[in-house]
Amino acid sequence: MSLSRRRFLSASTAVALLAPERLRAHLATAAGHPSFPGGQAGPYALVLGIAQDAGMPQVGCYAERCERARGRASPRYAASLALVEPEAQRYYLVDVTPDVTRQLDLIEEPGFRARAGERRPFDGIFLTHAHIGHYAGLAVLGREGLGMAPTPTYCTAAMADFLRTNGPWDLMVREGRLDLRPTEPGRWHRVDDRLEARALLVPHRPEYSDTVGWMFRGPTATVLYLPDIDSWERWELDVEDVVASVDVALVDASFYSAEEVPGRDIRDIPHPLVPSSMDRLQGRVDRGARVVFTHLNNTNPALFEDSAEAAEIRRRGFEVATEGMRIPL
């Protein structure tokens, strides 16, 4: 059975769990899904990982949930996206995680492997911020690893400064591998003839850099990628309006409940809890918006499709992203 066929079947299983009104909306979306039979080979975002920065299983964690993740047939990786333009054979990477080596295996386009062999896998890299899960994978794209050819790297001016002034990243800048393109947040920037990108500043622990979410606009759809935010309330934008302005919103789902991380005060690692995000966005989802959760901490039970929490997310018309998921652009 081909991979795409297996994926179609697993998608069908998930569809069976949807309420009728959600099922209609899902099938309408699926009709334009590039991996479905009869779909178009247009640009798409490919989910390369859905876990919080430190991945799943997490280092040194032998709790039942991490042991279960170790035994999974299909692996979990830290949150990241690829943007794929099959006709033009263009590829972009959105955040570079410590799992990047295996994550690139999820890009099935044959042209991608040829380009990787020529050490120029990406037409561009987009970075959200300087927390380890979002850029530390750059290390293996440098001279000890892929030896990447010069690659446009889109990020904020503060993130560009961080990379330029801290080792080992500064070496990748000096060697020309990271062709830094500081990008002004709030404005649309044309990336190529089929893709535009817009960074949105978000409130998030600024130890090393500021943080952005990215909006990507392709020929048919706009996708929001917002893996980390401290709070919806502290954002200068109204998340309901932002979600209404895109076709699909991938958003921070680090924690489902405040009791998840025993021995640590959740105020030290602030993120909106999934149920409160659903309360805030329920009206939009009921009117057809597509909200997909990502960046789940290893303690978040919704990482497992058979959990009560994942079922509740589906029941309310929301989704949890999964590795290999394709979203038309």
Backbone angles phi, psi at 222, to 5 degrees: -120, 135
Distance (Å, rounded) from C-alpha 17 to C-alpha 13?
A: 7
Pairing of strands 80-85, 44-49: antiparallel
Closest separation between CB of residue 53 and Zn ion, Å?
A: 4
Residue closest to Zn ion when measured from CB atoms: 131
Q: Which is nearer to Zn ion, 154 or 225 (CB)?
A: 225
State whether the Cα torsion 82-83-87-90 is positive or negative. Answer: negative
Helices (H), the chain: 3-16, 20-30, 64-70, 100-103, 110-117, 132-135, 157-165, 169-174, 239-244, 274-286, 308-315
Q: Which is nearer to Zn ion, 131 or 194 (CB)?
A: 131
Distance (Å, rounded) from C-alpha 128 to C-alpha 134?
A: 7
Closest separation between CB of residue 315 and Zn ion, Å?
A: 27
Distance (Å, rounded) from C-alpha 217 to C-alpha 222?
A: 4
Closest separation between CB of residue 79 and Zn ion, Å?
A: 7
Closest separation between CB of residue 226 and Zn ion, Å?
A: 11
Closest separation between CB of residue 272 and Zn ion, Å?
A: 13
Distance (Å, rounded) from C-alpha 95 to C-alpha 270?
A: 21
Closest separation between CB of residue 29 and Zn ion, Å?
A: 26
State whether the Cα torsion 26-31-36-42 is positive or negative. Answer: negative
Q: Which is nearer to Zn ion, 208 or 304 (CB)?
A: 208
Rule CB under 5 A: which residues touch Zn ion? 53, 131, 133, 228
Q: Which residue has the tokens 């909006």?
A: 215
Closest separation between CB of residue 296 and Zn ion, Å?
A: 11
Nearest partner of 128 among 103, 158, 104, judged by Cα: 158
Closest separation between CB of residue 98 and Zn ion, Å?
A: 11
Closest separation between CB of residue 294 and Zn ion, Å?
A: 10
Q: Which is nearer to Zn ion, 53 or 210 (CB)?
A: 53
Q: Which is nearer to Zn ion, 241 or 268 (CB)?
A: 268
Token couple for 146: 């892929």
Distance (Å, rounded) from C-alpha 291 to C-alpha 178?
A: 32
Give the orientation angle of helix 274-286 with respect to helix 308-315, to 10 degrees: 20
Q: Which is nearer to Zn ion, 34 or 133 (CB)?
A: 133
Distance (Å, rounded) from C-alpha 57 to C-alpha 41?
A: 34
Q: How far is CA 99 from the centre of its chain?
A: 13
Q: Which is nearer to Zn ion, 133 or 137 (CB)?
A: 133
Q: Which is nearer to Zn ion, 115 or 131 (CB)?
A: 131
